Amino acid sequence: DETAACELCGKRFSHEEDLITHMRVHMG
């Protein structure tokens, strides 16, 4: 089950670490 979701694009991740890595997409 997914535990983290990107507030900016709504993409969901199984692990918060994956969300943190994903957030770099929006930071640059």
Which DSSP helix (H) or strand (E) runs through 20?
helix 16-27
Assign domain 1-28 one CATH number from 3.30.160, 3.30.70, 3.40.30, 3.90.550. Answer: 3.30.160
- Angle, vertex CA 22, rays to CA 8 and CA 27, nearest 5: 65
pLDDT score of 28: 85
Q: How far is 21 from 11, CA to CA, in rounded Å?
A: 12
pLDDT score of 12: 97
pLDDT score of 2: 79
The structure's pTM equals 0.76
pLDDT in tens, 1-28: 779 999 999 999 999 999 999 999 999 8
pLDDT score of 10: 97
Task: Spell out the residues 6+ positions from residue 7 whose beta carbon is closer than 8 angstroms to its own.
Answer: none
